[in-house]
């Protein structure tokens, strides 16, 4: 598996499973895109291991193997996994924190045995290793403006939390079918929701009230993430702003449906996706040109 082939494999995985973010990634300068594909491809690959195998032992063994190969690769040893050359090349190229990589894999391991979370703090612990860690891994690729590296880290974490909580709300039925509940059990109790209600064909009023409550939490994470977009270099802002709006659009569609996410998968209409992309496309081209001029003029 050549490095080029590994990057292409990651790109295809991103295009297939991460359509909203893949669309937003097209607003980045071309040289950055393959690195975003590599991070997304790796994350999706690990997620598929814990979700797609039929027996717990098989999944655990496969995740053990991936974790061992990642550790070896981070230490400089060649790996035979076709997904990893691109991911490891990106990690080494941008100095991505190895601790974030380990935290992500630890959260993936939790999915093998943890079926629910008692409190929101408990759920945040899981998301800090999964979505928030992906947010901070992505940050060196997106490039904080000079001197803004420390300030940009927490908004990057918050954006990861916002995206993941949005996905949890959209995928309640799908996750329940896998035997998992990613909404805090204390919140289910508060709204009088029995876990089995999340597997029903239509959402009861109590379930919709619960989801409205969690949606407000997601909105708070989006608000906390918003200032971080302005801390990035100009050529990355259109991509992140578009992703912000596309994922926020999923939340808006959930609200428009009256929070009945059990009746069918919630999607942002294609025309709205196209409008978001078009709105940021001109800004993307202009910011890229301006950034090239600034870099040329630097002594």
State the pLDDT confidence band at 1, using cuts at 50, 70 and 90. Answer: low
At which residue do the structure tokens 């202009």 appear? 286
Query: Does the pLDDT value for residue 88 go beyond 70?
Result: yes
Supply 24's token pair: 């937003």
From residue 78, give the alpha-carbon distance in Å to each of 7, 67, 72, 85, 129.
Answer: 16, 14, 7, 8, 25
For the stretch 271-283, pLDDT in tens is 999 999 998 997 7
Q: From 60, 59, 84, select the one nearest 72 (Cα to Cα).
A: 84
- Express each pLDDT in 158-186 by its tens digit: 999 999 999 999 999 999 999 999 999 99
Are residues 208 and 259 in contact, defined by beta-carbon separation less than 8 angstroms? yes
Does 286 score more than 80 pLDDT?
Answer: no
pLDDT single digits (tens) 55-84: 556 899 999 999 999 999 999 998 889 999
Global pTM value: 0.92
For residue 118, give the DSSP letter.
S
Task: Tell me the mean pLDDT in the region 98-102.
Answer: 97
Q: Provide the pLDDT for residue 285.
A: 76
pLDDT digits (tens, 9 = 90+) for 235-254: 999 999 999 999 999 999 99
Tell me the average pLDDT across 196-224. 98
What is the Cα 167 distance to its own chain's centre? 9
CA-CA distance, 112 to 132, in Å (whole number)?
A: 19
Q: How high is the pLDDT of residue 292?
A: 53
127-163: pLDDT as tens digits: 999 999 999 999 999 999 999 999 999 999 999 999 9
Is residue 233 within 8 Å of residue 149, measured between CB atoms?
no
CB atoms within 10 A of CB 156: 25
* pLDDT above 90 (res 296): no
Q: Which domains does the chain have, with CATH numbers?
A: 1-113 (no CATH), 117-299 (1.10.600.10)
């Amino acid at each position: 598996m050549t490095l080029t082939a590994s990057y292409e494999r990651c790109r295809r995985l991103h295009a297939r499973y991460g359509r909203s973010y893949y669309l937003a990634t097209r607003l980045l300068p071309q040289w950055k895109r393959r690195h975003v594909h590599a991070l997304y491809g790796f994350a999706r690959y690990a997620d598929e291991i814990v979700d797609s195998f039929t027996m717990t032992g098989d999944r655990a063994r496969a995740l053990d193997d991936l974790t061992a190969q990642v550790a070896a690769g981070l230490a400089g040893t060649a790996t035979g996994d076709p997904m990893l050359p691109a991911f490891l090349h990106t990690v080494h190229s941008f100095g991505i924190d190895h601790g974030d990589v380990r935290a992500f894999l630890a959260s993936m391991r939790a999915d093998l045995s943890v079926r629910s979370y008692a409190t929101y703090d408990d759920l945040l612990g899981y998301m800090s290793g999964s979505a928030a860690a992906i947010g901070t891994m992505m940050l060196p690729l997106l490039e904080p403006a000079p001197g803004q590296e420390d300030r940009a880290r927490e908004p990057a974490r918050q954006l990861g939390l916002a995206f993941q909580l949005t996905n949890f709300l959209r995928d309640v039925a799908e996750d329940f079918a896998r035997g998992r509940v990613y909404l805090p059990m204390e919140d289910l109790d508060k709204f009088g929701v029995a876990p089995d209600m999340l597997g029903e064909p239509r959402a009861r009023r109590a379930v919709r009230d619960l989801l409205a409550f969690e949606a407000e939490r997601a909105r708070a994470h989006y608000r906390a993430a918003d200032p971080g977009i302005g801390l990035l270099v100009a050529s990355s802002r259109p991509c992140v702003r578009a992703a912000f709006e596309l994922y926020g659009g999923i939340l808006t569609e959930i609200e428009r449906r009256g929070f009945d996410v059990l009746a069918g998968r919630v999607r942002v209409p294609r025309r709205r996706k196209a409008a978001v992309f078009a709105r940021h496309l001109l800004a993307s081209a202009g910011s890229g040109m301006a950034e090239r001029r600034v870099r040329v003029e630097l002594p």
